[in-house]
Structure 1
């Protein structure tokens, strides 16, 4: 084991506790399962329609539930986060078992896959903000940056393995068995959370006052708090636009890949880049965010653009430079998440984070839909380089943005 990796793990161990370990394991396994059943669903749609529109629609349906996350905000602040995690995993287990059953008896249709994928993803989106709202409660403020980076680094490292194997596994065991195995995985996660996560008393005690107000009042408070974020709100809208434009290119990936294995290779490149970006972000907590964002988007945009040179001639070089571009995106994701957790008051964290994630993700599904739909009418190369151009233009924006000139991520208790 290298010295740097050993130090990374030792530093992570210093800030971990029982509940954080449980959350980390849950997220690792859930990411594994999500990757498999998402790939299985996309490939089922591709094999049964061979239509770029339906592939884009499937990506759209898998992404659109993030736009409804704001509905979960008051629930996260009001009720036991442990119970909400159990509900999320239980619903996904039931949906996957239904998909497996329909596949085995020969009644699974494209419309059925897309509908059930939407419901499963809707349940999945409850778990992310719930976990994000739990982390600041379970660790010190000064450790948020390190915990976020450690979480992302750890589960993305397994994501690399998952995406690399997903295409091969799907080829040999088939869609039905992928659905069935993932259903059992989620049942195991339910059991693990129910037995090992011990946070009920902390959560319920800290939310007694919140439970007295109405759901709709809290929903409005979340939107109001978000709107009063000022410069940070504008920054969030910029990220929303970045998500839209980058996902246009991502919506093209299932079309560029002629086999399950090659599609898994594209996903692996994204995971490797995000993994490295998460690890690098661990060491950048005290640097000014402006320099991080400018450097990340500049390098990411250039390497993405370079990768397009070999788009149709050398897949290995394409994936190499494409992965480098995702290092930048991984770094920005960790920095942005930590910034939000530090800037938002703890009592509003669930409501406000879900509003922010909904705002961020509301346009991204349309990017996937556009990527698939336009592929029949627009050059694949042009759609692919939209992601590169987006990152390069973002670097110019971050260079002149007044908000980033004065923001850093300090270590404080």
Structure 2
């Protein structure tokens, strides 16, 4: 058994790890309960598409939210944003047991909650290198993501069964309580925040000007990087992914002969695949990144086409195998960003990339909802598999992307381009 890395015993990293663990207790149930609640209230796959549209729209807006993270202490941002999310979610059981719930209110609530997530995610990404050091970023990300996915596997898989006994609204309440605990836990964080000075003027015009300067700094940082060359293919693949996930509840009910728990099994299968990719990603960082992506996503496309057409058990296994490439890509790309980007820009760069990547997701949600209403749900899974193969072909045809070296050697950013803008 290998020795524990020193950063794993660091106080702040342990707090962050426990926070991720507690969050995972409820987030898996929340993911299943939220989509099933919309489906139950509306009785329509199209409304599931609208719910996914709302959540993905929050992702598109994340580049506008990212600069706000630098206007408060990172610790305070984590504490209060999780607290507010918990309070918002607790309005669901309150309304449910009093005047009743409306599907539009639920969709709006999912959107607002997703907006707060766009605020906390870049903060977590920013503080990790400060806590563990740049040399340990890939390993630390791998450990954190492994905990996330492991919790998702357990609680998403059991979510359908739990919801059967306590209902969707009570299940969402569990997540709200977990957020309250996470908010309390993060009050014990204690790390040195970099000095990011801001204009303290009370003039609204001055504050607005600084905000847009920060926003521009993030754009300048990635403008001459490899990121713009990658964005088109990522947007394309995200459209396909959302078309698939929008129809996954209906697809699961079809494969499971109407058993709601099967939806949880498919989401758990997805999480298991991502977790496997997360675990193996540190071992793959020396492989040429371009070749790794091309090979992995061609494999994903083939097995997901199989998942769309084969019986339940085989479909679940192939669905899991196809998700491994997602876990590998997430860890390697975001770890490279955290290592190569200056601390003051990490949050903005990550959210600009995720915002750009999410541009097609609202469109994919609407397309997925319409496809689900018109055709059999397995068509959407099949389309996603074909799209993965097309994605790989695009990378294969691009000399720059095809020839990318191992992620530790790939220079994604021209550091210094944005200096002086902050």
Q: What is the deviation of 1:211?
A: 7.1
Q: What is the deviation of 1:385?
A: 1.0
Find the counterpart in structure 2 of residue 207 from structure 1.
196
Residues 126-157 of structure 1: per-residue CA shift (max 9 Å, x gap)? 11111011112222222111111111112211
| Bigger Cα displacement from structure 2, 13-22 vs 148-157 | 13-22
Distance 1:94 1:206 in 2: 31
TM-score, scaled to structure 2: 0.88
C-alpha change, 1:406 and 1:371, in structure 2 (3 Å) is closer
Find the counterpart in structure 1 of residue 232 from structure 2.
237
Q: What is the deviation of 1:71?
A: 1.9
Q: What is the deviation of 1:210?
A: 7.9
SS in 2 for 1:339: helix
Aligned ranges 1:73-222 → 2 under 5 Å: 73-194=66-187, 196-199=188-191, 202-203=192-193, 205-208=194-197, 214-222=210-218
Q: What is the deviation of 1:316?
A: 0.8
TM-score, scaled to structure 1: 0.90
Distance 2:377 2:86 in 1: 37
SS in 1 for 2:373: coil
The answer (yes or no) to whether the contact 2:297–2:389 under 8 Å persists in 1 is yes
Matched, 1:53 2:46: yes
The answer (yes or no) to whether the contact 2:137–2:335 under 8 Å persists in 1 is yes
Which blocks of at least 5 consecutive residues in structure 2 are unaligned?
202-208, 254-258, 411-422
Find the counterpart in structure 1 of residue 382 from structure 2.
385
Residues 209-262 of structure 1: per-residue CA shift (max 9 Å, x gap)? 687981121112212223232x22211332122111222112110111333201
Aligned ranges 1:181-330 → 2 under 5 Å: 181-194=174-187, 196-199=188-191, 202-203=192-193, 205-208=194-197, 214-229=210-225, 231-258=226-253, 259-310=259-310, 314-330=311-327
The answer (yes or no) to whether the contact 1:78–1:211 under 8 Å persists in 2 is no
The answer (yes or no) to whether the contact 1:149–1:281 under 8 Å persists in 2 is yes
Distance 2:377 2:392 in 1: 24
| Bigger Cα displacement from structure 2, 50-59 vs 368-377 | 368-377
- How many matched pairs? 397
Which blocks of at least 5 consecutive residues in structure 1 are unaligned?
1-5
C-alpha change, 1:103 and 1:332, in structure 2 (3 Å) is same
Matched, 1:349 2:338: no
C-alpha change, 1:12 and 1:402, in structure 2 (3 Å) is farther
Distance 2:341 2:71 in 1: 17
Residues 175-225 of structure 1: per-residue CA shift (max 9 Å, x gap)? 23223322222111111111x2112xx21x431368798112111221222
The answer (yes or no) to whether the contact 1:232–1:403 under 8 Å persists in 2 is no
Find the counterpart in structure 2 of residue 3 from structure 1.
none
The answer (yes or no) to whether the contact 2:159–2:264 under 8 Å persists in 1 is yes
Q: What is the deviation of 1:12?
A: 5.1
Q: Provide the aligned C-alpha RMSD in A.
A: 2.2
Find the counterpart in structure 1 of residue 369 from structure 2.
372
Find the counterpart in structure 2 of residue 363 from structure 1.
360
